[in-house]
Structure 1
Amino acid sequence: MPTMPASWATAQRATGLLLYSCLFLLLPTRTSAAPLTEANAKWNVNLEERHAPESYRGEWRNHTYFPSPGDWRSLSIYQLITDRFADGEPRNNDLYQGGFDVRDMTYRHGGDFLGLTQKLPYIKGMGCQGIWISPIFQNGFNSYHQYSQTDFTLLDQRLGTLDELRQLADSAHRLGMYVIVDVVMNHMGNEFFFEGHQGESAPFRIHEEGSRREYHLRPRRSNSDLHWTPAGRQPYIDFWYNNTWDADASYPGTLYGQHGEPVEDQGQGTYSSSDFHHNGDLQDYYDPFQIHFGKLYGTMDDLRLEHARVQQKYIAMSKALISSCDIDGFRVDTPMQVPLNFYKAWAPAVREHAKSLGKASFGLFGEFYVTPERYATMTGRGRDRNMYGTDRFIDGPATMKGGIVYSYYWYMFTAFVYSQPQYADGFALAYAEERSMIDVYDPANAQNEYAMWNFCNNHDNWRLQSMTSTRHLHVCLVVITFWPGIPLHYAGDEQNFDSPGSALDGWAREELGASLAWQAVPTHQSGNVASRDNFDMTSGNYLFIARLNALRRAHFESFGSEECDKLMTPSPPIQDVLAFIRGCSEEQRVAVLANFHGTETREALLWSPWQEHTELQDIIATSGQLRIVVGAGGRLQTSLPPLAAVALVPGLRRSIPPSVVAVSPSHAAVLSGPAGTVQIVLSFDQPMHSSAADGVSLDGFAGMFSCMTANCTKVAATMLFETFCDGVHVVEALE
């Protein structure tokens, strides 16, 4: 049965410690992808048996594909690194290439598709309707993050099989959720070095200058360890290098710099018959040629994506993934390092293929860790710096629908981490500037839809709360919930993870399950919350995020109009306060006020669209709600304590689904002691019908709970202690 939002409560019980001595003997295998074979069929999304990558294809026989959301803006998205979420099948942990060690935060920890599938109700209960999972294809040793792929059709065996990925997609769709897969196309693993620079950085080169020409590529492995391919022995089975120099070749298409400036290649000479760039390492991120053709970090082989031959291979592989696994969208890694002509070919091909399967609005979202001028070139039809504020666009079809934007994050970060609350005024300025630059027209819905992703944390940064406080995080969560765009929640924020350090170094990539690695990183006197099982659906942050998502749905509903992206902000801005009014109709408007100052109260004054004497009330607080009466001319005035954030609406509060707000014994409690009785109590946040008790079960068995109060805000069951066997026990509250 489906669960109501935020209504699951999971409690783990153990009456003792039971050790199991099971021995699994698994031999690591090295399976090549590409053409479908009997050996790789369990993990291959490609069904083509010929070794012709441009003809790869997928299929899910007798399957009905899940349709796209009516409006992507209506979703909240939950981001996770699959290896760092839940381990559902321990037998695959070291199945391929090694790198599994739960004691080390920089190694693999065993999360997989099965574990994620089992925990989908946990994510759904938080009110997140979309999940963004880390890359899924084959990587080498360790690479728990999955961004150093060696193949684009063979699933990493440590994450699970094709059937298990399909089970994940099917289970998500039955819960009304959408699956977004992180895809990498700019680069692959680190199988080559540049001739003459093994073990050291290779200065960037383009074309030929005197005796200095672009480099020959040299495989790191011996010839006997390479794959047999139609292009001879190769490090990668589907993408092939070639050291044949073409003196007349140049780089096709227009490149764009960090400031949105167009650049054309005027030179000649390159290894055009190679699927990889031979230019050396990326060292200057403001050089348009380096950022598109250079080797990222000096460790990731850069694909020649501006070439039609390479484009057709990757397009075929992308289609195969959608067809074989019913994926709903892609999050695109490092798009700023990919020539735009690739996206002008890939994006429409992917969208048309998905549409043929019944997905009318397949999601394409980029990682926009770059200037707005740069991501403006690859949002919608794209604009360069000469097109802002006009109806002119870069030639060709639309590319990304939106992406993860950092502009608002950096304003929040500066205000909170550096105690510069005046940066609250940057939000309105950035939004106005951005809207004049980017194209947000969605041809599928024939309207403008601002679909950028806003976040407080992600897998590439320090966690905000590790540098500030939970109160700071809550202000940020309120802002991203109601600000235009799509709120993005990073796994662990709902449990208030606060390990200090960069996520790129592994520090802020904690898993939700019990972890040995994080026991060695105490963040409080009691240790690190990330060291225990954290699938706690009654934690404070979990309930706060669930409430915000429920309020967003209640007041903006399914979005569906351009009105949703219109923003009213005070001019001049209020000192240290972010204030805005937004809604999808006049009846749905919400006024959000957030004081960014950490120690001082601020007076907020703005002019609203509501009539005089209209009473507004805060919908975020669950008790002692702020109430304001609108003054003459729509005057709205109130005092905001430090780090206060309110969302004000007129009239009666809209109803939101009930939540389980407490469980006793608490999540992950261990029961021990003399024989007797154990009382299990669930508390709801609002009065319930008496039938609610019938929907509560223990280990799958219902009928044991009854209401403790007249309004059934608490239900309980009394059990004999001896009825609990050793192990994990689960309490569920179903619709």
Structure 2
Amino acid sequence: MPSLFSKRLAAVGAAAAWLACKGDPQPGPVTPPTPPPPPPVDSLHVPSPDWRDQILYFVMTDRFANGDPGNDDQGAGEYDPADGAKYSGGDLKGLRERLDYIQGLGATAVWLTPPVANQWWDPLVNYGGYHGYWARDFKQVDPHLGTLEDYRSLSRELHSRGMYLVQDIVLNHMANCFRYTRYDPADVSAHVELNTGARPSCGPTQAPFDQWDPTRPAHRDAHVFHWTPTIQDYGVRDQELNWQLSDLDDLDTENPAVRAALRDSYDFWIREVGVDGFRMDTVFYVPQDSIKDFLYSTDAAHPGVVPFARSLGKEGFLAFGEGYATDLPFQDTATRKIASYLTEEATGDALLPGMLDFPLYRTTGDVFARGAPTSQLGYRMTRSGTAFPRPHLMPTFLDNHDVDRFLKGGSEAALRQGLLFMMTVPGIPVLYYGTEQGFTEQRGAMFQKGFGAGGKDRFDTTAPLYALVRELTALRKTHAVFRHGTPTVLRQNEARAGVFAYKMEDAGQVAFVVFNTSDEEALLDNLPTGLAAGSGLKVLASLDPEAREVRTGTDGRLSLKLPARAARVYMPSGDVVPPPAQSARVTLSNASGGTVPGDFELSGTATGVSSFRLVVDGVLGSAPLVTVKADGTWSTLVGTQGMTDSTLQHSLVAWAGEDQVLSDTWTFRVERVFTALLTHDDPEGDDVGPTGSYHYPTDETWGVNHQGDLRRVTLLGSGNTLKLALQTKTVTTIWNPQNGFDHVAFTVYIDVPGRSGLTVMPQQNASLPSGMAWDYRVRVHGWSNALFAPQGASATEEGTPVSPTAAIEVDKNTRTVFLTLSGELFGGLSTLQGVKVYVTTWDYDNGYRPLVPASEQWKFWGADGATSPLVLDDTPVLTVP
């Protein structure tokens, strides 16, 4: 999640999807999708596809490809490819010229950011509208992007290839033309600041949206806009619906004239360009009834987009909505809110047939990139299938233009797993441009002269990730079970990263998908497949070279040793070879499912084997070797270091190598407590940087809160698990952060005894205090959570992403953010004695928030951020005694 500033700049984005008029999709054939019919002579308008079979490629048009340099600079000071806040030069012609690249990747449709005439520059926030979400005219193509004919040419070219066009649209707001310096609901004409310096002009030009000025009585009386201030509390529904999102002028979508104008504006693009679907921005800020009117209105003069598209032969016009809301593990508050935009509560009628699956997005990142227990993904995947009436029409994604790139804090191995997951589960996969080229810059350009491109074009069809995506899209297209099937979770790890397995079933076809999300070998044991004993399973796809055809064992169970970060897709081959009778067996005397206070003794009997490995939570690398006594009995001490959450269920199993599992799976829980190891009380008011001259951004959300002022830091431990309690002056949630706090980023450096680390503090213009070198670096803020090892780190590079990342808890009452670091990170240590910790505060928004000499609304100020340390407050080096 971006900061409110980023949301202000992009006007919030994301979406959902829908097969409009055909009702719930029925199971399809177990074959590739039917090729589209030959296009008509004029391919501007083509019938709708089955959207379950589509793969979307999402582009920010200004940053994708520049086909016409002549339209780059409109002479308003808005164009500068060296500045990420300004236009870079990408356009519709460039996008059309790169369709071979997109189609070669396996995408079947292009989703592009709003192409409408936009506010080019907003001097109140020093940012430009290159992204398209600050409209001045909903029925004009922005001249930076080309002409209406350029847009038609793109549509025709897509359709001639059997591809489709999805346009991003906004119903909630337009550009920032006014704001309140102080709000008086009794006099909405007072305390108004008009954005007179906006370029190319101040205010929309399209009627009736040109009635935007609250200082004019006629405009106020028209009620085209809400005369309200910016949202202060996202938990208040009235503010969410009727106040301004980050000062963007909020449309009164309950006004019949506004509704008619919006329908007319977007019917225009269906008629004139042949658009096949809409991505509907910020739908949480629009009443459900307004969404219903926009989609379904029967007004003959200005019909809803669904009946209007139907009149042009598009029976299944796609319309997917964005609602940025994510859930904590095993919770579904956001899921229920998203579901409320799929079905009208009062009538039970369908609203949007799909929404971007933001809860699944977050959990996918938590599990694959951040090393969370795979049971979290099992819950989320199952919940998506039950909470959403049309799960196959919920677009799925790994990142987008409003959040950090996956590779900003996740490894490439994790990204590869995330891509395979997205291509083998229900939903419409969305690929964000540049993912296939390994982008870490959120809105970097693909073309040589664009922002963040590094001086070269990025359309490399030989890139490893491009090749992987091409293989995975082919897998999805070839096997209908991944497009139309229903998933069942077969195995998950409640305690840590590791095994995750599910099967997909559709029309008699079945496939099995197996992951090891851990960075070490894992054991998949006793997986019930439902197949006959000895059934062969062929490999359809794999991310590891050790994958081979396998067979089920006794009772149709499957057991496998999985390399680190393995991912495999299996399908029954149809042949069955009965397995030999099992001659060896291990039994456990202890009762399964109990709770233990710490390390404990485990015993049992064994036949047909002299020794075995006792595998705990699927971890093979550290599994102890247990020797069987002459009388057939055995006993061993099971270590529980790092097992600190009493709610988590752990597992263990006896394993004798290869695929031979010798026991049933045994489960237990551990009851532990954390004890305080060290407390540092930090002075109040020292959040002024190392020179004492730093200031917070001038926006009022910082000024009185001082979220970066550390007050107390406590280190707690349980075995070799470390918990940090970071108390600040204030914990705020002004911007609705998914991690439970905002306006501050904590960067924590960890020095592990006996290891060699680095002293440089990446991207902070600083080095660690004397006597410390970091082996782990934690960077967390309201919307990201990343952990790095020092390999590859420098003054500009963050290092190598590793997992598991810190578990985050927030207690607003005590103004404390808790970060728990798994004992897995401190392997070889029985205690935390000698571990060193150094904590800093700043803020983060796709990079550390800038520091500039003079005051600004959204930047820290008081020094030169090119050389001065980006440290607001810090602790001394804290050493665990």
Deviation at 1:312, TM superposition (A): 0.7
Question: Is the Cα–Cα contact under 8 Å of residues 535 and 574 in structure 2 kept in the other structure?
Answer: no
After TM superposition, the score normalised by the length of structure 2 is: 0.54
Tell me whether 1:404 sits opposite 2:356 in the alignment.
Answer: yes
Alignment partner of 1:147 is 2:133: yes
Secondary structure of the 2:138 match is coil
8 Å contact kept, 2:295–2:305: yes
Give the Cα separation in 1 of the matches to 2:215 and 2:350. Answer: 35
Query: What is the Cα deviation at residue 280 of structure 1?
Result: 1.1
Q: 2:309 aligns with which of 339, 342, 354?
A: 354
Q: Which amino acid aligns with 1:462?
A: D
Aligned to 1:365: 320
Kindly indicate whether the alpha-carbon contact (under 8 Å) linking 2:192 and 2:215 is maintained by their aligned counterparts in 1.
no
Matched with 1:266 is none
Which of 1 and 2 has higher RCO (CA within 8 Å, sep 6+)? 1
CA gap 1:182/1:639 in 2 versus in 1, 3 angstroms: same
Contact 2:63 2:450 in 1 (8 A): no
Q: Residue 509 of structure 1: which of 434, 443, 450 is its match?
A: 443
Instruction: Specify the alignment match of 2:538 in structure 1.
Output: 617
**Residue from 334, 337, 353 that aligns with 1:374:** 337
Structure 1: gaps spanning 5 or more residues: 1-60, 228-232, 247-269, 383-392, 441-448, 500-507, 520-529, 654-735
Is the Cα–Cα contact under 8 Å of residues 595 and 645 in structure 1 kept in the other structure?
A: yes
Question: Residues 480, 234 of structure 1: CA spacing in aligned structure 2 closer, same or farther, 3 A cutoff?
Answer: closer
CA displacement at 1:237 relative to structure 2: 4.2
- Aligned-partner Cα distance in 1 for 2:165–2:555: 46
Rounded Cα–Cα distance in structure 1 between residues aligned with 2:194 and 2:490: 59
1:160 to 146, 150, 158: 146
Q: Cα 1:177–1:605, aligned 2, differ >3 Å: closer, same or farther?
A: farther
Q: CA separation in 2, counterparts of 1:192 and 1:496? A: 39
**For 1:592-612, what per-residue CA distance to the aligned partner results, in whole angstroms no more than 9, with x for missing partners?**
111122234242542123332
Match of 1:566 in 2: 486
Contact in 2 for aligned 1:457/1:464 (Cα 8 Å) = yes
Quote the residue 2:196 is aligned against.
221
CA contact (8 A) 1:134 1:181 kept: yes
1:648–1:222 CA distance, 2 compared to 1 (3 A): closer
Deviation readout 1:382-428 (Å, 9 max, x if unpaired)? 3xxxxxxxxxx4327532221221212212322344433x1x21223
How far did residue 273 of structure 1 move? 3.0
1:362–1:631 CA distance, 2 compared to 1 (3 A): same
Change (3 A) 1:293 1:125: same
Could you tell me whether the CA contact under 8 Å between 1:450 and 1:485 is conserved in 2?
A: yes
Q: Quick check: 1:540 aligned with 2:464?
A: yes
Q: Which has the larger radius of gyration?
A: 2
> Aligned pair 1:594/2:564, yes or no?
no
Q: Are the equivalent residues in 2 in contact too, given 1:140–1:149 (CA < 8 A)?
A: yes
Q: 2:273 maps to which residue?
A: 325
Equivalent in the alignment of 1:71 = 50
- SS of the residue corresponding to residue 452 of structure 2 reads helix
- Correspondences of 1:396-435 after superposition (within 5 Å): 397-420=349-372, 422=373, 424-435=374-385
Q: Is the 8 A contact 1:347 1:398 kept in 2?
A: no
- Higher mean alpha-carbon deviation, 116-125 vs 565-574, is at 565-574
- Structure 1 counterpart SS, 2:340: helix
- Determine the C-alpha separation between the residues in 2 that align with 1:495 and 1:477: 13
Matched residues in 2 for 1:216 and 1:312: separation? 31
* Distance (Å, rounded) in 2 between the aligned partners of 1:551 and 1:579: 18
Please name the residue that 1:554 is paired with: 478
1:121 aligns with 2:100: yes
Aligned to 1:709: none
What TM-score, normalized to structure 1?
0.64
1:136 corresponds to = 115
Contact kept, 8 Å, 1:133 with 1:182, in 2: the verdict is yes
| 1:84–1:511 CA contact under 8 A, matched in 2 | yes
Matched residues, percent identical? Answer: 27
CA contact (8 A) 2:536 2:574 kept: no
Q: Which residue of 1 aligns with 2:423?
A: 481
Give the alignment's Cα RMSD to 1 decimal.
3.0
- Report the AA paired with residue 309 of structure 1: A
**Once the 2 structures are TM-superposed, how far is the Cα of residue 156 of structure 1 from its aligned partner?**
0.1
1:73 positional shift: 1.2
Contact (CA 8 Å) 2:437, 2:458: kept in 1 or not?
A: yes
Of 634, 648, 657, the match for 2:556: 634
Residue deviations 1:290-343 (CA, integer Å, cap 9, x gap): 011111112x11100122221111001111110000000001111111111111
Question: Could you say which residue in structure 1 is the equivalent of 2:409?
Answer: 467
Contact 2:188 2:227 in 1 (8 A): no
Aligned-residue offset at 1:226: 7.8
Structure 2: give runs of 5+ residues left out of the alignment.
1-39, 121-127, 297-303, 326-333, 576-881
Checking the alignment, whether the CA contact within 8 Å between 1:215 and 1:279 is kept in structure 2 is no
Q: Does the residue aligned with 1:518 lie in a helix, a strand or coil? A: coil
Q: 1:130 to 1:273 in 2, by over 3 A?
A: same
**Hey, which of these two has a bigger chunk of helix by percent?**
1
Q: How far off its partner does 1:69 sit?
A: 4.0
- Inter-CA distance 531–637: structure 2 relative to 1 (3 Å threshold): farther
Taking the TM superposition and a 5 Å limit, the aligned residue runs for 1:138-537 are 138-141=117-120, 142-194=128-180, 197=181, 202=182, 219-221=194-196, 237-239=207-209, 240-241=211-212, 273-298=222-247, 300-348=248-296, 349-370=304-325, 371-379=334-342, 381-382=343-344, 393-395=345-347, 397-420=349-372, 422=373, 424-440=374-390, 450-499=392-441, 508-515=442-449, 517-518=451-452, 531-537=455-461
Alignment CA distance shift 1:73-1:111 (3 Å): same
